[in-house]
Structures are given as C-alpha cells and as structure tokens.
Amino acid sequence: GAEENLKVAVRVRSFNKREIDMNAKPIIEMSAGQTVIRNPAEPAEDGKKFAFDYSYWSFDGGKQRSDGFWEPDLAQPNGKKYCDQNKVFEDLGKGMLSNAWEGYNSTLFAYGQTGSGKSYSVVGYGPNKGIVPMFCEQLFAEIGTKKGGDTAYEVTFSMLEIYNEIVRDLLNPNSDKKKGLRIRQHPKKGFWPEQLAVVPVDSYQAISNKMDQGATTRTIAATNMNATSSRAHTIVCITFIQKSKNSAGQELAKSSVVNLVDLAGSERVSSTGATGDRLKEGAAINQSLSALGNVISALADQSNGKKVKVPYRDSVLTQLLMNALGGNSKTIMIAAISPADINYEESLSTLRYADRAKQIKTRAIINEDPTE
C-alpha cells in the first residue's frame, strides 16, 4: 500500500447555552480550507492560521432551531453555509465505507475539549445521526444488495471504554471492573484486549441495541455522570469480512477493521474539588491523552525524517491505536472546537494538536488472505 497522510478535519459548532449566557464572542473564521483563530486578548493581532484537509463550519447558516443550534435550510440566503451531518458523512464516512469494501483498515478519532462536538460527529444524537450509525446503515444496505452471490459477508462489533488506564468491555457488564481487560500483543496485528466480547451483527438495529447496552454499562462515577463520560475514551470496533473462493476453489477472506474513537475531553483537568479517586482519574486520563500527544509528535518527527522511538507503550490508548496511527490503517482525525472567545486556549491547543497530527503518515494494505 502507498504511504499517505493522516487526514484532518476541523469542525466548529454553534454557541451553546453557556456561551450565550456568558455573552461569548466568536473567534473562529473559516474560508477555503483555512481556519483562523483570533486571540481575544489581542484583538489587533492577526489570527493564527491553520490549513486542514476538511473544514466544517457548523456555527451558523441555514435556520436556527429552538435549542440554539442550526440546521441547513436551502431556502435561506445563507442556507448552504451550515455544514450538517450528511456533509461530514459524504466526505469522511463514504471513504471509510469504500475502504472497508476494498479490505483496508480505517480509523476515525475525534479530539477536542468536552462539549466541543466530538460525540455529535462520531455518534450523533437522535435524528442527527453521526458517522457510526450512518456508516453501519449504509454498510448493511450495501451488503443487502449483494447478498445471495458467491461471497459471504460477516460483520462483528465490539465496544470498549478506557477509564483510568483500565479497559472495560462495554458489551460485558460482568467483566472485572477493577482490573479490566488485559492488553496482549500480537506480532502482526498489534495490541488487543484479551477476552473482549466480539459479537456478530446483521443489521444496524442490532449494533444500535448493543451500543445502548454499552452505554448503560459505562462507568458512572459518584459525582457527575457527564463529567465521567467526558473523561473516558470510547472505542467502537467494526470488523467486516468478505469470504469468497478463487478459481482454484481456495477460500479467500478480505477483512477490514474499522475503529471509531470518541476520545476523552482534551481540557486540562483542574484539580478543584477533586480528591481521591477523582484526582487519580484526572491524572490517568491525562496520561492516556498526553501519551497520545507524545506518540503523535514522535510520528510527526519520523515523517519529517527524524529517528525517534514512538512511545506506544506509555498508555493503553496508544497501544490500542498503534495500528491506526503508525501502521496499517487509513486514518482520519476530527478536531472539534468551540467558536467562543472563552474557550480560546483550548481551541488553539486542539488546532495545534491537529496540525501536528496531519504530518503523520500511515501505510494501509489490503487485508486479503486465504483462510485457514
């Protein structure tokens, strides 16, 4: 397979209630693939400029809903400005789908502070479906049109959470909550969590049920459930296998692993009020995210010709994402940002992170083997 750069998309959402209540001002501009962020403390300065593969303006345009968010409305003068879920799927999800059919692995991960729109893009809410449901629906629809021929199709699903450096199987509520799953290393396939439940699925509905089941299994800390979910990394893994016979009657299997990663909030965890477990939690989450930052930096250095060791082993997250970041995968990062001046530092840090990530190169190959 050819080497290619990790693709980066940036998406800015509209003001949320808190930002409106705080009379926040917008500091993000986008035009022709360029994203500009202005420092609210230095209004006279030029903004800092970034260029990414995709820039998604979901701040305004179209018509405003009662919840303050916007949706496209072609009848309005600005009706096309707002970028909706369909556009994101067209650009990112469709490509992942054709990769899956061709037998390439792909990974999509969302980075950004809590509330910036990571889950909205990856999973979505209600009728505003994100990439995961649209991807699955389309995959099964396409399988439906091809079924009955010589090729057999298998789809499996698994879902895990990394919380405090512990891997929890979200499809197995009885798995050991304290120790979590052990991470093993396979010489070819990289790291994988031992005994993770991998279930066959034959419809999006089946996956959706599993995801609901997974969501209820999710860790609920004593204080605030929302805060907790923002501190865990969730990884959904879909495997798609196509089995056929070649002219010699030998069985062939083409397989693709699709990882969809909703990362923990990237904000620096403040220690205010955090004691005991809560403090440990913040520290461990930082360990996984800062390890990811170090891995991304090392890989970017490598792409620029430097000889450096990539510290995959420094966290569970970076072990599980090893293939996605430095190996056999076509990978996309969505950097989700708030439009508001009050989030300047966090948004700038997300854009810098994304800027580093876009230098990474991976080399995806078609996974096709005669079956044993």
Task: Please identify every residue annotated as catalytic.
Answer: 115, 117-120, 262, 265
Closest distance of CB 31 from ligand ADP, Å: 18
Q: Which of these segments, 32-40, 112-120, 340-348, 363-371, binds Mg ion (CB under 5 A)? A: 112-120
Contact letters (x/-) for ligand ADP, 101-130, by CB under 6 A?
Answer: -----------x-xxxxxxx----x-----
Residues 223-252 that bind ligand ADP (CB under 6 A): 230
Q: Tokens at residue 202, please?
A: 């034959």
Report the alpha-carbon distance of residue 201 to residue 185 in Å, rounded: 26
Whether residue 260 contacts residue 136, with contact meaning beta carbons closer than 8 Å, is answered with: no
Which of these, 13, 4, 98, 14, lies nearest to 53 by C-alpha position?
4
Choice between 174 and 270, CB closer to ligand ADP: 270
Report the alpha-carbon distance of residue 139 to residue 133 in Å, rounded: 10
Q: Which of these segments, 28-36, 117-125, 165-173, 357-365, binds Mg ion (CB under 5 A)? A: 117-125
Whether residue 141 contacts residue 147, with contact meaning beta carbons closer than 8 Å, is answered with: no
Q: Is 58 in the site for ligand ADP (CB under 6 A)?
A: yes
Q: Tokens at residue 10, please?
A: 């940036």
Whether residue 30 contacts residue 50, with contact meaning beta carbons closer than 8 Å, is answered with: no
Site residue total, Mg ion (CB under 5 A) = 2
Contact letters (x/-) for ligand ADP, 124-163, by CB under 6 A?
Answer: -x--------------------------------------
Q: Tokens at residue 24, please?
A: 């926040």
Q: By Cβ distance, which residue is nearest to ligand ADP?
A: 117
Instruction: Please report, for the chain, how many H helices and E strands are present, in that order.
Output: 11, 21
Choice between 7 and 13, CB closer to ligand ADP: 13
Torsion of CA 104, 107, 108, 109, to 10 degrees: -170
Segment holding 317, helix H or strand E = helix 316-320
Whether residue 214 contacts residue 172, with contact meaning beta carbons closer than 8 Å, is answered with: no
Q: Which of these segments, 8-16, 36-44, 97-105, 110-118, binds Mg ion (CB under 5 A)? A: 110-118
Residue 215, phi then psi, degrees to nearest 5:
-65, -35
Whether residue 105 contacts residue 367, with contact meaning beta carbons closer than 8 Å, is answered with: yes
Closest distance of CB 353 from Mg ion, Å: 17
Residue 312, phi then psi, degrees to nearest 5:
-60, -35
| Of the residues 6, 16, 104, 338, which one makes contact with ligand ADP according to CB under 6 A | 16
Q: Which of these segments, 104-112, 118-126, 134-142, 296-304, binds Mg ion (CB under 5 A)? A: 118-126
Site residue total, ligand ADP (CB under 6 A) = 16
**CA quadruple 302, 306, 307, 311: dihedral positive or negative?**
negative
Q: Is 119 in the site for Mg ion (CB under 5 A)?
A: yes
| Of the residues 100, 336, 340, 354, which one makes contact with ligand ADP according to CB under 6 A | 336
Choice between 112 and 193, CB closer to ligand ADP: 112
Q: Is 266 in the site for ligand ADP (CB under 6 A)?
A: no
Sites of contact with ligand ADP (CB under 6 A): 13, 16, 58, 69, 112, 114-120, 125, 230, 265, 336
